[in-house]
Amino acid sequence: MIHKTAIININNFEKDNVSIGPWSYIYDEVIFGNNNMVGHHSIIEKNVCIGNNTKIWCFVKIRENTLIGCNSNIGDYTYIGQNIKIGNDTRIGSGVQIHHYAEIGNRVFIAPKVFIGNDRYPQIGEFSNFVPQSVVIQDDAIISASVNICGGVTIGQGAFIGMGANVLRDVPLGAIVYGNPAVIKGYRPIHIDENGIHFGPIGHNQKCAICSR
């Protein structure tokens, strides 16, 4: 359903089960999949591609040339900068800021109020020379609430970042880090079987969602 107050600048817009809420603005050359939802008062700029079954909630802004995979979820009041890549089955909480040119993998969990930057040495004025430094978050990583990730950092596959951490350097595969600045406190158990490589749970009483170990 397209709400009557939504503004859609796409010619011949015909997709199955796409819902766009009131007062949302969709620029040209946006590609929707099937079963998408856009909440009210959201803005999606040019050349954005959104995969099937992905939900974008309210007051979200998605800048140009961004790719979002299938079965993902973008929470309220989130900003996604230009030239961002977000994988499949990824969850992004409310109030998150992701600045260009970040790359976020599959099955990544990003909790509310996470900040993902792109400038390690901010400066303005005549002698400033801003060159964006992208953040890479690899598959299966978990980023807890209110984490700040500095530009140029890579978060390894399956890593866990604790609440409120300030991440200033790369995090290796499966590492558990937290603090200010964030430091390695341990590693998640790694399981390798017919399902490939995957990571055990954080809590002592939890079981792996893939192999039940």
CATH number of the domain enclosing 144: 2.160.10.10
pLDDT per residue of the chain (213 residues) written in tens, 0 to 9: 777 677 887 665 666 688 999 999 999 889 999 999 999 999 999 999 999 999 999 999 999 999 999 999 999 999 999 999 999 999 999 999 999 999 999 999 999 999 999 988 888 887 778 888 999 999 999 999 999 999 999 999 999 999 999 999 999 999 999 999 999 999 998 888 887 788 877 777 777 766 777
One domain, residues 89 and 143: no
Q: What is the domain range of residue 77? A: 15-95
CA distances to 6, 10, 22, 88 from 47, in Å:
18, 11, 21, 18
pTM of the complete model: 0.92
Q: Count how many domains the chain has.
A: 2
One domain, residues 167 and 110: yes
One domain, residues 152 and 78: no
**CB neighbours of residue 61 within 10 Å:** 15
CA distances to 25, 111, 199 from 46, in Å:
11, 27, 37
